[in-house]
Every structure is written in structure tokens, then in C-alpha cells.
Amino acid sequence: MKQSRLLKSEFVKTAILLLIAVISVAGFWLALRAALRTEYPLHAVISGSMIPSLHVGDLVVVQGGLDPCEIYAAPETGDIIVFRKPTDPSEFIVHRAVNKVYRGNSWFFKTKGDSNLSSDNWEVPDDYVIGKVVGRVPLLGYFKIFLGTPGGMAVIVALILILLFMDYIPLKRKEAKTKN
């Protein structure tokens, strides 16, 4: 009986620690979104189009909520921006703003990957711009890329379950040995 209470106690402690960890991560994410004024404050670079400025696997920090006038556009020295691909708005692109024009009531950006020979074959409307890159962490983007895969999600779920039951299994074995 005493072992059973100990077992439940350990299980509850682990569950509470996991809950605190989840709440902390969620709080950090919400604070990051508020501080950087964008729904997408972190983005993983998934192609080599921005080499040498950015590399595959870099995690970029994105500042949103910008007035289009705040984005500097120039070949080689313009701001690196994250935007929705005009031909497929569900896809995000990280390229340099090389030119911008004001047409009608909106700004439009011409973009280019640093390692690409020519500019992209589209203009990005200002409402497709997520924000500009204000920082990068090399290699950490691979973690974000991995988490976006079904295998990555399965690993996270498995780790949570292992942590939740890690204390439970050894105590259950001790309980079984003491009964024999």
C-alpha cells in the first residue's frame, strides 16, 4: 500500500514537472511573439539560396510589425526579409529585399537570394511580408525543421511519455519484488 502511494506520488510529481515545462515553453513562445510583433518570430532556413549570409539549418529571429518604409531595399545590402511566397502563400521564403516600389496604395518588394544569379520572378506585396531578419543562430534551425516532420513529432510524444512513466516503471518492479 505504501509503495502504491509512493508510486502515485512520483507519477504526480513527474506530471506536474511536465506541465510546468509545457506552460513555460508556451509562455516563452507567446512572449517572443509579443516582443517581436509577429506570429512567426522564429524561422528555419531550409535552402541554400541565402549563402553566404544564411545557411541551411540556421534559425533566424524575425522582427514583425514593421512599416514597409522601415525595410531597406538594395542589392547586396538590403534587409533580409521573411515573406509569404506570392505564388503559394502557405510557403515562407527568406530572401533579401533588393528593390521596392510604391504602387497604388501598397509597397511591393523585389527579392533575391544572395547565391541566386537573378532576382525572384515575383514582387512581394507589403502585406505578405512577415518581417525582417534581426538575428540568427547557426544550426539550431535543424531542430525546428525536425519538429515539423511526423517523425519529429513522434519523437517528442515518445519523450514525453517516457518522462511521464520513467519513475513509474522502477517503482512497479520494486513493488512486484517485495510481494514475492
Phi, then psi, of 172 in degrees rounded to 5: -65, -40
Give, in order, the Cα–Cα distances in Å from 18 to each of 150, 159, 172. Answer: 22, 11, 21
Tell me the pTM: 0.81
Whether the pLDDT of residue 170 is over 70: the answer is no
Mean pLDDT of 74-79: 96
Please say whether the beta carbons of 99 and 110 come within 8 A: yes
Model confidence at 3: pLDDT above 60:
no
C-alpha cell at 18: 511536465
Position 10 scores a pLDDT of: 73
Q: What is the pLDDT of residues 91-112, one digit of tens each?
A: 999 999 999 999 999 999 999 9
What CA–CA distance (Å, rounded) separates 168 from 75? Answer: 60
Is 89 in contact with 128 (CB distance < 8 Å)?
Answer: yes
CA distances, 154 to each of 30, 157, 169 (Å):
24, 5, 21
Whether residue 66 is predicted with pLDDT greater than 90 in this model: the reply is yes
Distance (Å, rounded) from C-alpha 33 to C-alpha 62? 10
